[in-house]
Amino acid sequence: MIAITTAFAATWTTVTSKETGSYSSAFKFLAFANAFTCGFALLFLSFVFFFGRHGLNPTNHLLFLHDLFLMSPMLSGVAVGTAFGYLGRRGNSHAGWSQTCDPSN
């Protein structure tokens, strides 16, 4: 439940943000990865409750595969968001991108 709540909160914050960086493809990907993870975690939680009521127990292998499947888009979304934040903070002189944040903070 905590993972679903935090993924939903991160998606909501990224989508409703008025910052100019929220229009970038990196943050759109981060929001999509969070929404994807939230949706599939909610779907799988209902799957566990449904089969748990009927006496069928999902195996640990299925739970492991589900977590592994959801970890991949989340890690890639976080990596993209971090890379975009780093570029905003430090810039890239080789590509000609200047920094947009004050590095003294």
- The model's pLDDT over 60-102, given as tens digits with 9 standing for 90+, comes to 667 777 778 888 888 888 888 888 777 777 777 766 677 766 6
List C-alpha distances in Å: 53 to 36, 39, 48, 67, 95. 26, 21, 9, 22, 57
Do 84 and 27 meet the contact criterion of CB atoms below 8 Å apart?
yes
pLDDT tens readout for residues 4-56 = 787 888 888 877 877 655 567 777 888 888 888 888 888 888 877 776 666 55
Angle, vertex CA 43, rays to CA 40 and CA 49, nearest 5 = 140
Confidence check: pLDDT of 58 > 60: no
The values of phi and psi at residue 92, to 5°, are -145, 105
